[in-house]
Amino acid sequence: MKIFKFGGASVKDAESIKNVASIIKNEGAKDTLVVISAMGKMTNAFEDVVDAYYNKEDSLPEKLNFIEEYHKNILSSLFDKSDEIYEKVNVLFGELGWFLARNTSKRYNYVYDQIICFGELLSTKIVSAYLEKIGQENVWFDARNHIKTDSNYRDAKVDWKLTQELITEKIDTSKINITQGFIAANDTENTTTLGREGSDYTAGIFAYCLDAESVTIWKDVDGVLNADPRAFKDTTLLEQISYEEAIEMAFYGASVIHPKTLQPLERKEIPLLVRSFVNPKETGTKVTKGTRLVPYIPCFIVKKNQILVSISALDFSFMVENNISFIFQKLHDYQLKVNLIQNSAISFSVCIDNKFNKFDAFYDELKTQFKIDVQKQVDLYTIRHFDDNAINLINQKGESLLTQVNKETSQIVVNPN
């Protein structure tokens, strides 16, 4: 069985959905499981609903109306008014409205997951219905009935044993299956999510549990490039990457492949293909066991809007194990992801993501015990297989605040202002 994953950009409008349907018919007309994300920027739109629900209740109807009109405009371009899909979409919006009206929980992450999942449910219902309309039989199913997790909302951990049992038992591998990326459920049947951009991970989970032939991630780029074309003018297609290299690149923040996707694939040596839905005849990039990188050139990864924090003791004492251990515990407690670490005898520096907006609380707790210097809105550049020209290129992007180099990788924190 093959696994295909299509992201939001590939199903952003009616023409895009027609293109996805064409790819499925040409590339995976049978024995294929298709994982689909929310359409276009709908995950952001549903996040706006969550924000309005908590902070701007007067704007909630407007936010919901925007989402409903977006999807119904797509429906009007693909279907007749009498088609059953209209009723299925209305049912989903009814379920969303019911949750917003009846929910009593104050837990933000829980509420976030119960709302955000509707993006994937809507997109997969529409794509599945369109495939049926053009004569391509398929089975739509709810990923939440197959992928089971703990209750760590917004970043749930997969229960692999139960998930394996459910997927093996329930999925007919002889048919085209359509399901959602990103979403799962816990043991009380509440929706959980696998982390932002978790649809790639969903594809990896199904591939592992089904012993898939391959996983193909369909993107709006030709494959895995050596740099993000939004940040660099000249980029090169990487024709082949080893699992090890891809995991390293994902760990440092390469956006084409989700960090958690690769490890289950590597364990069963399932090839990962990254191909273009714009130019589906091109072969793209293959991630597999073997040669680390073809061609062997510097690869650039950038993380924007980071926070650089330098911490030292108030009494000028050394930053030793007990201090650093305490700081790491607090970074964990406040869900601050560390992307770079550098320490000296009297200071300890970290470059972090403030994904959950808890940095200010972290700062307030630590400032009574440590001297803390903070620089916000910095950029972290990571160069795999760096050379002097690559480092010079990054140094031209702003003031270099911190540099760290090892055998394979250079990391540079840059103030772009």
8 labelled ligand-binding: yes
Q: Which residue has the tokens 């509440």?
A: 190
Q: Is the dihedral of CA 20, 21, 23, 27 positive or negative?
A: positive
For the chain, domains (ranges, CATH) are: 2-219 (3.40.1160.10), 299-415 (3.30.2130.10)
DSSP 26-67: HH-SSSEEEEE--STTHHHHHHHHHHHHHH-GGGHHHHHHHH
pLDDT tens, position by position, for the chain (417 residues)? 999 999 999 999 999 999 999 999 999 768 999 999 999 999 999 999 999 999 999 999 999 999 999 999 999 999 999 999 999 999 999 999 999 999 999 999 999 999 999 999 999 999 999 999 999 999 999 999 999 999 999 999 999 999 999 999 999 999 999 999 999 999 999 999 998 678 999 999 999 999 999 999 999 889 999 998 888 989 999 999 999 999 888 888 887 687 689 989 999 999 999 999 999 999 999 999 988 899 999 999 999 999 999 999 888 788 888 889 999 999 999 999 999 999 888 889 999 999 889 999 999 999 999 999 999 999 999 999 999 999 999 999 999 999 999 999 999 999 997
Helix (H) or strand (E) holding 241: strand 240-242
Eight-class DSSP state of 237: B
Closest Cα to residue 148, out of 121, 183, 173?
Answer: 183
**What is the chain's Cα-based Rg?**
23
195 labelled ligand-binding: no
Residue 236 vs residues 224, 245, 380, 387: alpha-carbon distances, Å: 9, 16, 21, 16
The 3-state DSSP class for residue 363 equals: helix
Partner residues linked to 191 by β-bridges: 185
7 labelled ligand-binding: yes
181 labelled ligand-binding: no
6 labelled ligand-binding: yes
